[in-house]
Structure 1
Amino acid sequence: MVRNGRVAQARALNVRAAVAWASTAALAGALAGCGEVGGGTVAGGGDDDVLRIGFVSTETGPSALFGEANTYVIEAMELWFADNPVTIDGTEHSVEIIVKDSQSSSARAGEVAAELINSDGVDLVLTSSTPDITNPVSEQCEANSVPCISTVAPWQPFAIREGDEPADLKYSYHAFWGLEDVSAVYADMWGQVDTNQKAAGLFPNDPDGQAWSANFPALTADTGVTIDDPGLYPNGTQDFSAQLSAFKGHDILVGVPIPPDFTTFWQQAGQQGYQPKVATIGKALLFPSAVEALGNAGDGLTSEVWWHPTAPFTSSLTGQTAQELADQYESDTGKQWTQPLGFAEALFEITVAAVEKAGSTEPDAITEALSTLEVSTVVGDVAWGADDSVPPYVAKTPLVGGQWRLDEGQDEGANPYELVVVSNTLAPEIPTGGEVEPLR
């Protein structure tokens, strides 16, 4: 085995380098105009004893797996707040959660965010699930001076939307890891397998694909791994013959496709005889149902892991550990736990901590509280203003790497795949369950 010795160096990259990584990415979501639940009230910051929270979720469309757990968490939070009102400046506030589906569309995300603000009168907006959704929601909040808390998008494509400088955001606060983190995790996993250090890049023409393709080659160059990118492909591509022809002889596969596109690609890879020694795929391999769709061909695939039940974190609201939350989700839904589950709950933990610290539902008071907020959540410690390597409205969260393992002898009703943590260099508090095994 060859261990990569550059992980610590990659972790130490500062924001100046991060800006350069994303400078060529076309990441700006169009400002949308003015979405399914909720009645009309005046704009946020009302003086009644109700905290109105808008949530732009992704429940339908090609990225729906990102929002698969959102409905569960929102319903659980509604029950929680019914028994546990939020105390703001000594007054108990009931909580109303108004949900809109982005339909996996940037334009739709902007539209429903505007509706939450202008028609539903929310005090703040929560959102997640790739920069395609977080960015247009943030832009509406900035335009209307309403607090926005977002997650589940690398911080660079969230923050750097035009040119080579982070956007000057005043009402948007984001909690997630960055490209410097995911590249370090990937490099550590690749270093556990003996390869020719030639990587094939599978990058779509969307904000994630643009940022990853523009920056990953530079981030991995000093590790000895070179990434060959035959060009961005459109989401929904049905024929990957051109990419597979270019990928021959590459022991490593890396990319960030949407789930249905990777299913198509991996099936065609098997048909055309391309099998790398290690395949590390962001976005598409985050979800158990997406891996199960590959059948036995999903065994041994690797990805980043932003949240795992074995992480030693606890909800500041419910007191549940990460493992207890995952177990409860599986018991209640009959589905396997999924990574966005923890981050959906963390959004509400952050919200409560922010309004309690602000002592108000006024937009400026909430954003002022967020600017220095520190809160321990079920996804780890979240702190804004504590890391000079990122914009002040970004709080980084822990990241590890994992490998999907097929349990060929599983009991009836057991999950066919388990996600095993195989790299914790950046977050040693999260235990590993093994090392990377080469694809067979």
Structure 2
Amino acid sequence: MGVVAPLTGRLAPLGAPLSYVLRALAPYLAHVRNGGRRYEVTVAVRDSRSAPGAARQAVRDLADRDGARVVLTMAGTRALPAVADACEEAAVPCLSATFPWQAYLRARGADPAHRFRWTYHFAWGLDDIARVFAGLWERVCARATVGCLWNDGLHGLLLRHERYGFPAALSDRGHTLADLGAYREPAGDLQDQADRLRELGAEIVTSAATAADLALFHRRVREAGLRLRLITCSRRLTYPHPHTRPASEVHAELGAARVGTLVYWSPGHPCRSSLEGTTAAEPARAYQEDTGDPWLKTLGLAHALLETARHALATAADPADRAAVADALARTRLDTVAGRLDFTAGPTPNIALLPLAGGQWQPGPDGPRLTVVDNTAHPAVPLTGELTPPD
């Protein structure tokens, strides 16, 4: 079993949950039973170094030197597709998670009808994010003019897309989406976007900005004397802990903004691991005790990634044959600690969907705290708080 993770470089904090889960689940990954026979399993981890080129080389090393029968990866909008493409080229099964399936396909130059032979991904869709965010907006205003702070890269292009993005998903909700103007990451100023927000008179903003860029925009908005009623962002504060903070002033700027976001996993999710039978609350609690940091949403995805890979090895016609493992992934229907993954019923081949809830980052005694405030799209997830306005 091969793993490509960002152990070094700018994405290293994103690799921490996967590294942690690999250690925690090591006893369950040491061997697998298939057809009455016991197979020993070696887990080989390679560093993507947070770069696409190094990620591709990691796959080649795992395939050629380590003989990996399956490769796992998560995190990195450029590194993850590089791993998947390299696995497709090397004819090695690949399983990944963490960003919307439309972005996964588009980053690889594929359309939704394309069927990959070797590579599989589980996540959610841009349309799912749009509907969750609209549910949060509607708690503030039934029909809103929403300022869209979207970059000029893959995220922004897809969010604007008439078929895959927010406009199509929200066409019947009555909201007006107003593009504030594309910008290059990292942003240099964002004054033009703040000026455009003033012209619109919009009090709600939605974004997929980095923490640093969203903080810069929020500062420009404050300097203009504007007050926002809500910000929703799918990227900001995914990893809010001290060792991941790019700068203390970034989180100081956004701390009182109470940013709304998506929740794809939490300790309250009513799910159990297929490996050791633990509830979602247990790995979250163990992570906090072992690291001293609050739980991360990606912890559940990392756990499910390993559960699914082990399941594929256990159910493949021949776990030592890569084609058989790929076929096992394609027919996987498995209840994991992150929820049920069904690769036979996705929106497109090779994809399994996870539902989303709506959350809000609220101030807590130990820093930002993620609260589930809307479970309309995933009623089984318990609410842990109410949507509150910015300070």
Counterpart of 1:420, as a letter, is T
Cα shift at 1:196 = 6.2
**TM superposition shift of 1:79:** 4.2
| Paired AA for residue 109 in structure 2 | E
Cα deviation digits, residues 284-316 of structure 1 (max 9, x gap) = 232232788513732321100111111111111
Change in Cα spacing, 1:234 to 1:96, as seen in structure 2 (3 Å) is farther
Whether the aligned pair in 1 keeps the contact of 2:105 and 2:111 (CA below 8 Å) is: no
Question: Given the superposition, is the C-alpha separation of residues 101 and 239 from structure 1 closer, same or farther in structure 2, using an over 3 Å criterion?
Answer: farther
Pairing 1:404–2:364 present: no
Task: From 98, 108, 112, give the equivalent of 2:44.
Answer: 98
**Equivalent in the alignment of 1:375:** 334
| Counterpart mapping for 1:170-181 below 5 A | 170-181=117-128
Which of 349, 353, 360 does residue 319 from structure 2 map onto? Answer: 360
Structure 1 372/139 Cα, relative in aligned 2: closer, same or farther at 3 Å?
same
Deviation string 1:251-302 (CA, Å, 9 cap, x unpaired) is 1111112333333333444344343211000112322327885137323211
Q: 1 CA distance for matches of 2:49 and 2:229? A: 36
Normalised by the size of structure 1, how large is the TM-score? Answer: 0.80
Q: Is the partner of 1:186 in helix, strand or coil?
A: helix
Residue matched to 1:44: none
Query: 8 Å contact 1:422–1:433 — kept in the other structure?
Result: yes
User: Percent same amino acid at aligned positions?
Assistant: 31
In structure 2, the partner of 1:120 is: 66
What is aligned with 1:33?
A: none
Post-superposition Cα deviations, 1:331-362, rounded to whole Å, max 9, x if no partner, equal 00001111111111111100111111104221
Indicate if the aligned counterparts of 1:193 and 1:437 stay in contact, CA closer than 8 A. no
Query: Which residue of 1 is the match for residue 167 of structure 2?
Result: 217
Per-residue CA deviations over 1:51-106 (Å, capped at 9, x if unaligned) read xx111213444444432312211222224434xx2113333223322222333333
* Native 8 Å contact 2:63 2:90 kept in 1: yes
Question: Counterpart of 2:68 in 1: which secondary structure?
Answer: coil
Q: Deviations over 1:418-440 (max 9, x none)?
A: 21111111111101123322223
Secondary structure of 1:127's aligned partner: strand
Q: How many residues align?
A: 378
Indicate if the aligned counterparts of 1:217 and 1:226 stay in contact, CA closer than 8 A.
no
**Structure 1: 5+ residue stretches without partners:** 1-52
Q: Structure 1 stretch 378-387 or stretch 220-229: which is displaced more?
A: 220-229
Q: Which residue of 2 aligns with 1:68?
A: 16
> AA paired with 1:338?
L
CA distance in 1, matches of 2:62, 2:223: 47
Q: Show the counterpart of 1:434.
A: 385
Residues 219 and 62 (structure 1 numbering): CA distance in 2 closer, same or farther, change over 3 Å? farther
Secondary structure in structure 1 of the residue aligned to 2:360 = strand
CA RMSD of aligned residues (A): 2.2
SS in 2 for 1:174: strand
Matched, 1:233 2:191: no
Change (3 A) 1:99 1:213: farther
8 Å contact kept, 1:286–1:304 = no
Aligned with residue 285 of structure 1, among 234, 237, 246? 237
2:115·2:349 contact (CA, 8 Å) conserved in 1?
A: no
Distance in 2, Cα, partners of 1:170 & 1:92: 27
- 1:392 paired residue number: 349
Quick one: distance in 1 between partners of 2:251 and 2:127? 29
- Matched residue, 1:252: 204
CA distance in 2, matches of 1:221, 1:63: 35
Find 2:25's aligned residue among 77, 82, 89. Answer: 77
- Tell me which residue corresponds to 1:18: none
Which amino acid is 1:110 matched to? R
Q: Could you tell me which residue of structure 2 aligns to residue 57 of structure 1?
A: 5
Structure 2 regions of 5+ residues with no counterpart? none
- Are the counterparts in 2 of residues 374 and 381 from structure 1 also a CA contact under 8 Å? yes
The amino acid across from 2:218 in the alignment is W
Partner of 2:35: 89
**1:164 and 1:173, CA in 2 relative to 1: closer, same or farther beyond 3 A?**
closer
Aligned to 2:193: 243
Range with greater deviation from structure 2 (285-294 or 126-135): 285-294
